[in-house]
Amino acid sequence: MSITTVPHLNFRGQARAALEHYHAVFGGQLLVTTYGDVGVPADAPGADRVVFGQVVAENGFRIMAYDVPGEDRPVGTPTTRRENGATLTDEPFFVSVRGDGVEEVGALWKGLAEGATVVEEYGPSAWAPASGMLTDRFGVTWILDVAADRPA
């Protein structure tokens, strides 16, 4: 048996923009299906929103996203419930991307960093040749690092 785990991100009206951004950063194929594409009348509110979207790259990167039905929220507003005064450690998840080379991962970092809040700059770290953490302009927190040789 084979199992694949894919992060599925929930947005409130920003799924298409987020998927297009991730496609620009990671490459691969972009698929976006709207509620209208699956039968919601074109003039219905939200018919142009994403009901299914994904980016699949040849290097193994894959992410899915859709627009949760309901009220709009500003870009970067989490769709998960959070308490007032929440800190970064209160986030329910991060998306982790690991590559084999400092330059390869650095290029991905540069793309994701556009409009992002950098939590930890990309550079050498105690556990990897390079790593960094940021929250992108869509409110998703990413950890990028370079695989390090480790003893068994």
Could you read off the pLDDT of 90-120 as tens digits, one per residue? 556 789 999 999 999 999 999 999 999 999 9
Instruction: Indicate whether 75 belongs to any domain.
Output: no
Number of structural domains, the chain?
2
Q: Rounded to an integer, what distance in angstroms lies between the CA atom of residue 61 and that of residue 27?
A: 9
Distances (CA, A) of 7 to 32, 87, 147, 150: 16, 22, 20, 26
Instruction: Indicate whether 79 belongs to any domain.
Output: no
Could you read off the pLDDT of 27-67 as tens digits, one per residue? 999 999 999 998 889 998 889 999 999 999 999 999 999 99
Instruction: Indicate whether 13 belongs to any domain.
Output: yes
Q: Rounded to an integer, what distance in angstroms lies between the CA atom of residue 27 and that of residue 55?
A: 8
Could you read off the pLDDT of 115-147 as tens digits, one per residue? 999 999 999 988 889 999 999 999 999 999 998
Burial degree of 133 (CB within 10 A; 0-12, 13-18, 19+): buried
Instruction: Indicate whether 131 belongs to any domain.
Output: yes
Helix, strand or coil, per DSSP, at residue 57: coil
Could you read off the pLDDT of 69-89 as tens digits, one per residue? 876 555 545 444 444 444 434
Instruction: Indicate whether 115 belongs to any domain.
Output: yes
Instruction: Indicate whether 8 belongs to any domain.
Output: yes
Could you list the residue range(s) of the whole structural domain that residue 31 is in? Answer: 1-69
